Chain A
Amino acid sequence: MAPEPDTMPISVDFLGGLETLFSNNPHHTISLPLLNPSDSSPANVGFLISHLVKNHLKHPRTEFFVHSDGHLTPGILVLINDADWELEGEEECKLQAGDKVVFVSTMHGG
């Protein structure tokens, strides 16, 4: 499949049970628009999250992934190219073609 114009491939993994929200598939390669259409700013992680919710989240219990304000639900760990997203500016972190983003939900059972 040829990449769509004005998009970039991003590798997205969902772990710790989050995969059940995304068609039970832990690994996705998505085509993310280079620019956020709402303000034409370069795509960042915040835009990736809204893109995932709009196009890939196939489950009604969206609160397990995002709050009603569109921000990520607390307790979900995000790694951008193997680094904790807190060190990369969280939602502001700009994405580049081929970046690897991992979402992990924290577990508490035992």
Chain B
Amino acid sequence: MEQNSTKERLDGRVTATNGEQNGTSRRLTDEEFDRYSRQMIVPEMGKEAQLRLINSKVLFIGAGGLGCPAAQYVAGAGVGTIGIIDSDVVEPSNLHRQVGHATSRIGMKKVDSLITHLRDLNPLPTYVPYTFPLSPENAADIISQYDLILDCTDNPATRYLISDVCVLLCKPLVSAASIQKSGQLIVLNCPPTPQGKLDKKYPPCYRCCFRKPPPANTQLSCGEAGIMGPVVGLMGVAQAGEAVKILASGLHLPSSTPETPEDDPHNLIQPTLLIYSYDLNAAPGPFTFRALKMAPRKKNCFACGENSPQTLTLEGIRSGNPNYVQFCGIQTAKTTLPIEERMTALAYHVVKQTGILPNHILLDTREKEHFSFGSIDGAVNFPFGKLLMKAATIKRDGGDAEEILPVKSAEDPIFVVCRRGLDSQEAVEKLRELGLDHGGKRKIVDIIGGMKAWKEEVDPSFPFI
């Protein structure tokens, strides 16, 4: 049943858009035939599906942990035009997960590095490099040239921008994200549906599913929180899987909209949000993969809902409305501590070397994984989360605040260092709130800029992560 309805829809499309003209009835070249034979003989693929892939254009936004694995499989499958946009350069810390780059290409623009890799894999597609960031000014011009968009970015502001432009230009979007040990994947706006259309059920956009971004102070980046290579890799490969499926079966075409949710064998109207959770201490279990059924397009959606043509336009986006950066918030550095409670990393080093500094406690509030790579001589690891939890317990239940310190000395001054100098300031405040400063008699001092500053000002060989 399902197969028939898909087939009818596709045959209808081929006739309607003239298969001769867009090449869905041409012969495959010998090279194409050899290269794509193993996937073409898979049931439901065949020559037409392969030609649909060859005639398609896919845009990868981001050439990192998601974009690399995703682009490999999409290029391998023979999609005819592959655009890639990213302004970053390849760094050694990318290579454990960004498998389209190479040690020999460190320092090269990621887009050029990835295209080098993809050309070697499959020289037949046309590769289009964009070595600058996607912006509200250029997004529509670039996205308009493609049939399907893959969101492989790493920040919420760009994610909302991509989805909004995809809604306005009627482009389907395959969106994935990953952090630490978790990943998520969802197909949005597929089949693409004009903005504001709500006469029946239609697929959601990114804003329908994720109305508001998390506050800036809870947004973690892979650089800060870490990321397991296979986790993000799996999400990227899954994106490629969805992309190939959509293009091969023509689901990216507006005419493929199912009449009712019951006619929707591909879960397009109510797509699945796939969540992958990876546990370093456990075998795969019932929570490794979860599939959550999302709601269809929402009436009140800012981007695609009933009144959206008044709230969101391409012109507006180009001229800075909405303001994506403001919408997603910017994390600002705190400098609430008075200067007498702060000391630069260099000053700390000098007073310690010259013997001016009396006996003191040096607390390093980084996570134990960070601490394990190296620390300042004499530093004691006291992870920030542990500190906060112990402080909260004392506040709630009372008790001797001195007990929470990992080293005992009621008189010695306390210095606090963290990774980049934010947590340490909060830690100084917490310790003072607990009365550990003895009403000002004992000094509690923040080391400005954390271990990053230590590397820059004191010890260039320090292994900073």
Contact = CB atoms under 8 A, between A and B. Distances in A.
Query: Counting chain B CB atoms within 10 Å of each CB, which of A60, A86, A87 scores highest?
Result: A60
A22 B391 CA distance: 19
B214 A110 contact: no
Nearest to A65: B218
A104 interface: yes
A84 B66 contact: no
B218 A75 contact: yes
Contacts of A106: 156, 177, 184, 210, 213-214
B428 interface: no
Contacts of B273: 77, 104
Contact of A15 (B177, B290, B293): B290
Query: Counting chain B CB atoms within 10 Å of each CB, which of A60, A79, A107, A110 scores highest?
Result: A110
Interface residues on B, range: 35 or more
Contacts of B287: 13, 15, 26-27
Given A16-B184, A19-B277, A82-B293, A110 B177 contact: yes
**Interface of B, helix, strand, loop or mixed by DSSP:** mixed
A104 B292 contact: yes
Contacts of B180: 17
B154 A110 contact: yes
Contacts of B154: 108-110
Contacts of B277: 15-16, 19, 26
A109 B221 CA distance: 6
Contacts of B388: 60-61
Contact of B222 (A87, A105, A110): A110
A64 B216 CA distance: 11
B218 A110 contact: no
B434 interface: no
Contacts of B392: 60
A59 B218 CA distance: 14
Given A75-B214, A110-B62, A110-B65, A60 B177 contact: no
Given A75-B218, A79-B292, A107-B179, 4 more contacts: A60-B392, A84-B294, A106-B214, A107-B184
